[in-house]
A and B are shown apart, each in its own frame.
Chain A
Amino acid sequence: MQQNASKKGFSLNEMTKYLLLVVAAVIFVFFSILQPKFCTVNNIMNIVNSATITALMAIGMTIVMETGEMNLAVGAEATIAAAVVGKLLEGPSFNNYFIAVLIGLAAAMLVGALNAFFVVKVGIPSFIGTIAMTTFVNGFIKIATGNRYMYSQYWPDSFSFLGQGKVFGIIPMPVIILVIVAAVTIIIQDCTRLGRYINSVGVSPAACKNVGIDAKRTVVLAYLLCSLITGFCGIVLSSEVKTVSPTLGSDLLMSVFAAVMMGATFLRPGRYNIQGTIAASLLLAIISNGTVSIGAADFVDDLIQGCIILLAVGFISLTHKGGLPSVKFNK
């Protein structure tokens, strides 16, 4: 009897595992028919580009969510890194871009470390702790940017390298960055002890404790890794548009969240995974690009995104008993 049940679940899983990509393909074809300009090399590059930024940040968030915690401070981490880089290079006296980036990343990781401290050591629920941290960091962002779009004529040319550079004259730099980050994080997630512990802690913290896995250390490392990636994402984004917006990260937060949630329906339904997060980012980018290119009003994108989060999480909560780590359903 047990054998039967698991078999049935298996075939259902097989069917829904790649649903996300199928949906993305269908929607892509749909927009291509409605708007011929949609399916051009140029526009596809646009889609990939905007998916890249969401995906980068969402990879960071995924890593934390896999441990069963939340990180709503990813936006703040991205913004503070970009703001620090922008501020450091603002004057004529200092123009070493490389060092500025390192300091920017350090700032983001400091936020990550504080998140980890309050969530792991103090024991504040991560949902609340990271929202509070966002507000706190926003204060510093306002100090650095003056709460305006920041731009400086002294910024070195290298400032726009990460965002606007092209490899072989065609592939945008952010895409290369995403491929590298994705490859490294997927290997960490699937093939290293850290990745296995991150996932195990999310599924069963008690079991980890009893077999001698340091759950707290694992969560701290996840927060740090996350802030490193999201901080870098913020720097790439500011480099791409050559300004630092004080709301650079918070503008992205909802899409990032949507991507992570939706990603949990992909490949390993019921569990967050980086592969799914990337596929979901692509779907979201197709939808927002498509709605703009067919000339729909800008609220349509919001409506669709909201529906998608509800659908994705609803799907998981209906099909998986335990629900997602960090979003525990009462079942």
Chain B
Amino acid sequence: MENEKTVVLKVEDLTKEFAGLVANDHINLEVRKREIHALCGENGAGKSTFCKMLTGVYHPDGGIIYVNGKKVSFQSPAESLAAGISMVYQERNLVGHLTGAQNICLGREPRKGLLIDEKEICRKAEEIRSRLGIDVPLDVPVDELGAGMQQIIEIIRAFYDNPSVLILDEPTASLGEGEVAPFLKFVRNLRDELGMAIFFISHKIEEVYEISDMITVFADGKKVLTAPTKELSRDDCVKAMIRAGRQKTVTVKEKDFSNAETILEAREVTYDNKKHQVPFTVKRGQAVGFYGLVGSGRTETMEAIGGIRLSEGMDVSFMGEKIAKTEPVQMINRGFILTPEKRINGAFPGLSLEDNICELYLDKLSNKAGFMMFDKMREFALKVLEKNEVKYTNVEQNIIELSGGNIQKIIIGRSVALDNLQLLVLDEPTAGMDLGAKSEVYVEIRHLVDEENKSVIFISSELEELLTTCDKLYVFHDGDVVAGYKRAEFSKERILSDAIGRKE
């Protein structure tokens, strides 16, 4: 048994500084054969820096890396690859029009004379595929594959050089809920069948506990702890991750909505020439969660109602009025605002914070001749920034310089400033955020519904956050609303099985 568990990679006192800022402070760590080692920590805790030193992207300022007992020093990513460390990056690194096999060999195509040897590419890719024992089509352009398949092709590529250590950087971030489970099974297989040592970086605690053998927590560039997963409780793990007091707690009081005014009531929505049954109601002061797999219709339904997606007809009433054909501008004027799934689509990259905030209200912030009133704009912008506790250096700075969490705060903040806001629809507002930033979004949502008496629809792929934040929850499957639960009836198992379309 001890033999099996030989240390594959070991680092001692690994340190990296950027312009005086310590990104990694004397990290000591080891990973063994046949081990999935989860690296947890908030954004900026030092996980990425750590991995980039292992892959040779960064050169450490101090410390030693041992691979299979040998001391190594990498000058470039190629040297790290040769030493047996392979990393699968968070973003997709596939070229869409090339087939899976061609992507796997991308950058190191075998040649016959001057020309690429396509047969050898297929053979090589097929060989790695069968060694990993996974079924994935290698002869179609990767554009035509789903996110999960694409992820697997990237991992097959990582195995091109027979690595002994595999680093997976948030591998499930881009996967739909239905794709995660088979993917995790695949990763487990890599460990059991091939005896791989795997670093698994993830923000999702659930996942970490499901798959890992060891957990290492990073915070502020330091390693906080390393412990076997079985011996570390979730609470302790989360506590270690968040720097003291950064995570705010969300409290949901029991409220009775039976007498509250109905803001939005939907029965049917038709888009893409298909009629969907979406019976749901949103009451004043209610936070309603929409849960479902990616593509289950949660986003599509709200986009159709908001007029962003073309709809062929709907049976929906908003503020007691029947609405049919909708236009985004008209819906915004009636107090319905949707913040889009991809944060950047809601912001104006390249413009200042001030412009980003005021863009929606230029009508009100300009005089009758159409000239903008700059002092009013500044005043308004500062008010929104302050009210939402945005961290910024200058109101004139470019919005893309801010972190995702702060951009989201601005997008929500300026939507909320709409005078007659009735219903705010947040589509995946916390995607890609760390726990601290996420919790601030939850607090903001509760503040809106409890104190300001507005209504919020919160669309998310993470059930956990909906369960903590919402008063009511609807589950989408295949375009339809398949179930609705009040807070008192929340049950994780039932909601999950609804979402994947299981009938009881």
- Which B residues are in CB contact (< 8 Å) with A200? 95, 98, 106
- The reply to whether the CB of A295 lies closer than 8 angstroms to some CB of chain B is no
Identify whether the interface residues of A are mostly helix, strand, loop, or mixed: helix
Docked pose: A242 CA to B230 CA in angstroms: 85
A325 CB to closest chain B CB, in angstroms? 11
**Chain B binding surface SS class:** loop
**Please, how many angstroms separate the alpha-carbon atoms of A268 and B157 in the complex?**
26
- Cβ of B313 within 8 Å of any chain A Cβ, yes or no, is no
Per-residue A-contact encoding for B114-145, CB less than 8 Å = 1, 0 else: 11100000000000000000000000100010
Q: Decide yes or no: A210 and B93 within 8 Å by CB, A193-B111, A200-B106 being known contacts.
A: yes
**How many chain B residues touch A (Cβ–Cβ < 8 Å)?**
24
Residue ID in chain B nearest A209 by CB atoms:
B93
Q: Are A192 and B89 touching (Cβ within 8 A)? A: no
Give bound CA distance, A131 to B335, whole Å: 48
The 8 Å CB contact of B157, one of A199, A203, A211, A213, is A211
Kindly identify, within residues 168 to 211 of chain A, every residue whose CB is under 8 Å from any CB belonging to chain B.
187, 191-193, 196-197, 199-200, 203-204, 206-208, 210-211
The minimal Cβ–Cβ distance linking A265 to chain B, given in whole angstroms, is 15
Is A212's CB under 8 angstroms from B77's CB?
A: yes
Annotate A268-284 by CB proximity to B: 1 below 8 A, 0 otherwise: 10010000000000000
Decide yes or no whether A6 CB sits under 8 A from chain B. yes
Q: Is B387's CB within 8 Å of the partner chain A? A: no
Interface residues on A, range: 20 to 34
Bitwise interface map of B from 94 to 113 toward A, beta carbon under 8 Å scored 1, else 0: 11111000100011110100
User: What is the CA–CA distance of A233 and B160 in the complex, to the nearest angstrom?
Assistant: 43
* Contact present for B94 and A207 (CB under 8 Å): yes
List the B residue with the shortest CB-CB distance to A212: B107
A271 to B98, CA, bound (A): 12
Q: Which of the listed residues A6, A207, A322 has the most CB atoms from chain B within 10 Å of its own CB?
A: A207
A93 contacts the other chain (CB 8 A): no
Whether the Cβ atoms of B115 and A207 lie closer than 8 Å is no
Q: Are A207 and B93 CB-contacts (below 8 A) given A193-B116, A200-B98?
A: yes
Q: Which residue of B lies closest to A194 (CB)?
A: B114
Cβ-defined contact, A206 with B93, below 8 A: yes
Q: Which residues of A contact B140 (CB under 8 A)?
A: 6
Given contacts A191-B115, A192-B114, A211-B106, contact A204 B78 (CB under 8 A): no
Judged by a CB distance under 8 angstroms, whether B71 is at the interface is no
Residues of B within 8 A of A42 (CB): none
- Knowing A187-B115, A196-B116, the reply to whether A213 touches B96 (Cβ < 8 A) is no
A211 to B109, alpha carbons, bound, how many Å? 12
Answer yes or no: B389 CB below 8 A from chain A CBs.
no
**CB atoms of B115 and A203 under 8 A apart:** no
Q: Does A40 have its Cβ within 8 Å of any Cβ on chain B?
A: no
Partner of A6, one of B94, B107, B114, B144: B144
- Docked Cα-Cα span, A211 to B92, in Å, equals 11
19 contacts between A and B (CB under 8 A): A2-B146, A6-B144, A191-B116, A192-B116, A193-B109, A196-B116, A200-B98, A204-B95, A206-B93, A207-B92, A208-B95, A208-B106, A208-B107, A210-B93, A211-B93, A211-B106, A213-B106, A213-B107, A322-B96
